[in-house]
Structure 1
Amino acid sequence: MADVNFDTRASKFARNIYDSSKGKIREAVLMRELTQHILPQLPDACPVLDAGGGQGQLSLQLAQRGHSILLCDLSREMLLQAQSRAQALGVTDRLITHHSPLQELGSREGGPYPLVLCHAVMEWLEQPQQTLMGLLEQVAPGGYLSLMFFNYRGMEMHNLVAGNFDNLGHTMVHGKKKVKLAPKHGFDNQQVIQWLTEAGMVLERQVGVRVIHDYLRDKGRQEQSLPRLLELELEYSEKPVFCDLGRYTHLTLRKPV
């Protein structure tokens, strides 16, 4: 298996993920984590590396706040869409796109960075742990890694509440995917935290992403009740138990000086 390239699915990805209720919740939680818990600890307008950032939804919002962005992705089509969005937002002077695998970032000048974003990338990689360890080299001493990944426990909970009792354990990971844009592989929160802390990173926060949305019995309320749902997602994402059961997990990690 090679790293997944979204060139042929860029438009579908934007429509089905970014423009949907699930994408809006993801964006709200991540922006809360960045603006309230990470950026206040860093210099104003510091450079940011968005590793595997696709169309740059999050990093372009940071560009609007004055940050300079290096956006790296395996998909050329995703980067073209990011450039188009940057032009529409008037921030093309703050965006550099780099078409390459994450594994080649070590040869890119400009790092290390005070802030590295890696959101919903690990689950599409052939060698996620090895690639993540290499990415840590791009985090400057005293800098932060904003990491979001598909949560194995969230996969389990989703199948349990749906009654998919035959789609657990080995079958859940190795069976045929029912939804093409859904990752097949999730990661155990504690395992990822162990990888990173053993590599010298300091865990500052863990939150869940979509801790309610995907488990709603009435799927119609995902859109119909979105304003209230967003409020509840932000509230419950930080709470014990709930933060372990999000469809995704977000970790805020700092590299010691």
Structure 2
Amino acid sequence: MTDTNFDTRASKFARNIYNSSKGRIREAVVMRELTEHLLPHFPAGAPILDAGGGQGQVALQLAALGHPVTLCDLSSEMLELARDNAEAQGLTQRLTLVNAPIQSLSRHLAAPVPIILCHAVMEWLAQPRETLMELVGHLAPGGYLSLMFFNYRGMEMHNLVSGNFDNLGHAMVHGKKKVKLAPRHGFDNQQVIDWLERAGLEPVRQVGVRVIHDYLRDKSMQQSQYQRLLELELEYASKPVFRDLGRYTHLIMKRPG
């Protein structure tokens, strides 16, 4: 088993994920977490590594705030789109593109990094825990990790409320995927936190991402009530119970130092 490469699927991913209501909500929640709960700990212009950052939606927003960003991705097609968007926004001087797997980052980084992002990557990796530990090794003392991953409990809840009772447990992880762009694997929130704590990191904040959107009975409201839905997603993301059932989980972790 190898890491998933999104070459040949970059445009479809942009259309079906990034440009959809679910993609916009995911991005809005993550950017709120970064701008309100992570970046205030650093001076303007602190360097950032976006590991597996795809087309660079978040990377470019951070570059626009004055941060030099190294964007690493396995897919050359994703990075081409990131380059095009950087040129259109006049941000090429603040964006360094690295077409390589996360596991080879040691060959591309001159020093540990104060801020590392890894969003919606773990669920596509052949060895997620091992790769995450390698990535954490690049985090500087006093640095912060922003990690978002597909939530196992969110997978369960989605199948339960959808009536997919034959797609639970072993079948949910090992059965035939119903949607090609949907991740097969999800991770238990506390298990991931435990991994990171054993690696020496401390939890700062946890929120759920898309705690309402995917569970709406009337799917048309994802568009017709989008603005109100976004307000509620931001409000409920950090509330216990709701945050644990988000389709994704976002963690902010700190390395003491």
Matches of 1:17 and 1:228 in 2, distance apart? 20
Alignment of 1:106-255 (within 5 A): 106-255=106-255
Structure 1 residue 110: deviation in Å?
2.9
Structure 1 residue 161: deviation in Å?
0.3
Matches of 1:133 and 1:123 in 2, distance apart? 15
Give runs of ≥4 in structure 1 deviating > 4 Å. Answer: none
Q: Does 1:74 align with 2:74?
A: yes
Structure 1 residue 109: deviation in Å?
2.8
Aligned residue in 1 for 2:99 = 99
Is contact 1:71-1:95 (8 Å) kept? yes
Bigger mean CA deviation after superposition, 238-247 or 101-110? 101-110
Name the aligned partner's letter for residue 156 of structure 1. E
Please give the TM-score of this superposition, normalised by the length of structure 2.
0.99
Aligned residue in 1 for 2:7 = 7
Structure 1 residue 179: deviation in Å?
0.3
Secondary structure of the structure 2 residue equivalent to 1:83: helix
Matches of 1:169 and 1:60 in 2, distance apart? 38
Which runs of 5 or more structure 1 residues have no equivalent in the other structure?
none
Matches of 2:143 and 2:152 in 1, distance apart? 27
Matches of 1:2 and 1:175 in 2, distance apart? 18
Cα deviations by residue, 1:48-78 (Å, 9 ceiling, x for unpaired):
0000000010010000011001000000000
Matches of 1:111 and 1:244 in 2, distance apart? 35
Matches of 1:17 and 1:224 in 2, distance apart? 18
Is contact 1:106-1:137 (8 Å) kept? no
Q: Does 1:22 align with 2:22?
A: yes
Name the aligned partner's letter for residue 120 of structure 1. A
Q: How many residues align?
A: 257
Aligned residue in 1 for 2:59 = 59
Structure 1 residue 47: deviation in Å?
0.6
Aligned residue in 2 for 1:86 = 86
Name the aligned partner's letter for residue 92 of structure 2. T
Structure 1 residue 43: deviation in Å?
1.5
Structure 1 residue 236: deviation in Å?
0.4
Matches of 2:131 and 2:47 in 1, distance apart? 21
Structure 1 residue 111: deviation in Å?
2.9
Name the aligned partner's letter for residue 89 of structure 1. Q
Matches of 1:167 and 1:108 in 2, distance apart? 41
Structure 1 residue 241: deviation in Å?
0.4
Is contact 1:72-1:98 (8 Å) kept? yes
Secondary structure of the structure 2 residue equivalent to 1:160: helix
Secondary structure of the structure 1 residue equivalent to 2:114: strand
Name the aligned partner's letter for residue 243 of structure 1. R
Secondary structure of the structure 2 residue equivalent to 1:93: helix
Secondary structure of the structure 2 residue equivalent to 1:203: strand
Cα deviations by residue, 1:152-210 (Å, 9 ceiling, x for unpaired):
00000000000111100000000000100000000000100000001100000000000
What's the C-alpha RMSD, in Å, of the aligned pairs?
0.6
Matches of 2:223 and 2:18 in 1, distance apart? 14
Name the aligned partner's letter for residue 99 of structure 2. H
Please give the TM-score of this superposition, normalised by the length of structure 1.
0.99
Structure 1 residue 224: deviation in Å?
0.9
Secondary structure of the structure 2 residue equivalent to 1:130: helix
